[in-house]
Chains A and B, each alone.
Chain A
Amino acid sequence: MNVPALLRRWWPALVLVVLVLLPYSALPLPGLLDGPVGSPGSLQLLALCLVFGGLATGYDLLLGRTGLLSFGHALYFAAGTYATGLLLTRAGMDFWLAAALGLLAGVALSALLGSVSLRMTGIGFAMVTLAFAQAGSILVQRDPGGVTGGEEGLAATGLPTSLVGIQHTANLYWIALAYLVVTLAAVQWAVRSPIGRVWEGIRENERRVEVLGLRPYGFKLVAFVLAGTLAALGGVVYLLLTGGATPQTTTSDFTLSLLVMVVLGGSGTRFGPLVGGVLYTWAEHRLASLAGSGTIAGLPSVLRVPLSQPLFLLGALFVITVYALPGGVAGLPARLRTRAVSRGAQA
């Protein structure tokens, strides 16, 4: 095999090696990151990007692979974060045990609520998942018995010392990377399995799957629980990264941002949601710091007012993506190629 063919086959491994080695790099990326790549601030942002890349990949298991439009994914993410956080701070449990139980809480919750909400199809399903997630969000924010910390959130205590503090950011970064790799592998493996074929069939035409003698309900539930589990795992990693749980992660806006990431990157593709998650998270943080900077403050108010709201820019960007770029960022190379081919055919 020649080098380009090798590269085409093994580039994900190459990218992974580069990502693993990033904490040792002192490369400055002015404009993209505030400090050099290996500095704690940059690593923290990169780790967040990776976690959200993984989350979006897991969410796409529902949206892009099975064709299920769930608006309640935040709930399972928050279940992982809050269950682990509560067990750590209120029950004083060992971190690894708490993390395992938190993950289990996500599995149980997604199995329970999935089995109810999957009785609806299409938009009805979307609304029911939204309602459940809203219930979870209300529960967290109303702070029953003072356990969840309400609006303030929950600061995790009793974390392992090697995972706390600015000097250990690299460890957190590696954990985030591991989460991403696990998610990618799990999604890829599941999609290629016989169940994955049925998911594809359900996405294309659910009625036809029924006619073939299969009950879509069970298959959809497997997808829902798997996606919920991956989200809960992401929640545990997020708890480590931010050192606590915030009620913002329970809201429907959080799920909507996952949806934006997936569509932005390209739904139903292998790396699309990952790219979307990374881009969105990075843009959100950079836009927020840009909004506070002098460049924006000097603009006339017509420009300054909308530009000071990252969510406005991201919402607008999302609408533009839906219009101009139906396949997302991942579909971009193919689109450019077909355009070039059709132009060549015309010439």
Chain B
Amino acid sequence: MNKPSEETITQKPAKRIDEHIVEIVSDSGEGAQKAGQTFGNISAKMGNGVWTVEIIPAEIKPPARSPAGASGIRIRLGSHYMTNMGDAADLVVALNEQVLYSRIATDAYKPGTIVLLENKWLTDPNPKIREQYTTSVAEFRENGLIVHELPMEVECLKLTPRPRLGKNMFVLGMLSYIYSRDLEKANTEIHNTFIRKGEKVISLNQDLLKAGYEFAATNLEYHYEIPAWERDTDERLIVTNGNQGLGLGVMLSGMELVAMYPITPATSASHYLADVYDQVGGFVHQAEDEIAAIGFAIGSSYAGKTACTITSGPGLALKTEFMGLAVMAEIPLVICVVQRGGPSTGLPTKVEQGDLLASLYGAQGDAPKIVIAAATIEECVHFVIMARRLAEAFRTPVILLTDANLGTGVQPYPRPEPKAEWLASPIDQSPWNKEIPPYDWDEETGLSSRPIVGQPGGEYVLTGLAHTTNSKVAYDRESNQYSCNMRSRKLASLYSTLKPPIVHGDQEGDMLVVGWGSTLGAIEEAVDKLRAEKHKVSSVHLRFLSPLEPGLEEIFSNFKKVITIEINYSDDVNFPLIDKSNRRYAQLAMMLRAQTLVDIDCWSNVHGQPMQPGLIYNILSQHLETMKGAN
């Protein structure tokens, strides 16, 4: 194909669009995620709203050209703030046809979705592959996908003998043309990405980028412009994923230690910290197991340096005994849980909100602790800062729940401006008044101040056994009842400081949707769409789960129906044998029903997929229909 001149490239008019959802899908190891992240970064730098989510196979080296091996990335970009991954994609770049099947199985595409497909399989020496390819392409077209078979491999071979390694930058080049991205910005991104690999690698990748750009300009009819998102402030933005957000939060909070054990999808938070933590004087301890990780963090916290441990569901299960100790002995501690699908090993790379009840109740006896959930990537940062402060003020472990969707999702948000008051105070080493016992509970609040090792006069023995205010082991009924009362009272006193949540939409109406965690953007997008159609639907999103936020009963009372939308298991009322008397509700619904005595409904699934606005819209529409029928 002929190289076009710069003029022919720029002359084509670009079609203005408000937003697009783009995917790059390939076998694992082909760099689709790197290309997509770079594309997302460039778009954010050009002022677009962006939400990026990775498509991750559960295995490191799944078989090539297999639906289960689909690895890649989705980028939703537009002229407004993006809060979720959206529904069906508009344009997909696929490096083989088989990986598309796993995406089709999750309704990632719709009739009209443009597929830019690597066509080298058409001439593959293996007749089986050739046949698979042609059959699939025909099938895709039959289902309404607009497939363009492109010689990406052939084009890359002009520049490199190993196109498998460079094709992702060629793809980035194509996308850069299609979406009118600034090539200079793309070149800079490539430069920064490959800086450690040397000039030669940088320039090869930049050449591939250019080749992709020119190829698309010459051969593709698609050329769009997505104007920058008009923001009303000029505050600085940063772009991170939620796990990097957790890492930033840890550093901004002044916590100096993260003790962890590798677990998907939480580990990348620690990878990030391991890279930069020394710049703020911190240390990542990779422990021998999940139990040791929390034990190590507890040791540090006990010695006055409140620490953090980061894990996911299986790790949370292993940590429960120590969590009980931290509650019992009133040790401040931050536990971040990046939730994935369960039970057991479950869906390691996929999202679920299945650890809410485990966080609240997964311990011996009554172990009241603070549980909060981040709803956005920005909150992943700020909630860690809040968590440390709550942990120290209330002398208790705080669990911060996020999930795989937030952990791997990438979004621009206002840059946190570091503040000295966010940092942990230096540890108190002044003499401790011997008259004050180590658990000098205030009966009103349950709060007490804590002697820190090094304070002369404060020497006490922390114990996980039932104990008195003096931390003396006590098996009598009064002491145990009293100390349980005091630890529980701390939650009541935190509750008394909370404000009722803000209702999104009108304060009253037909239906109220309640959510928590990463579903915020999708729920509000669905609710907004229904409201635009004059439906009386509102939503409310909870950040505090233990204690629950105040005012819920009153908010609920203004709606005919209250329903939670969650990514965890619940029985469908239409399942055999299920009726109201035995239905197992989604986890937040169960808690809200118990706390408010309101007959709250729920809708949830365990598909391992981030909640999509279109799906929620359909579900809520059905419920509204049913309500109308019942009236």
Please determine whether chains A and B interact with each other in the same assembly. Answer: no
- B residues engaging A (CB < 8 A)? none
- Where the two chains meet, the residues of A that have a C-beta atom closer than 8 Å to any C-beta of B are none
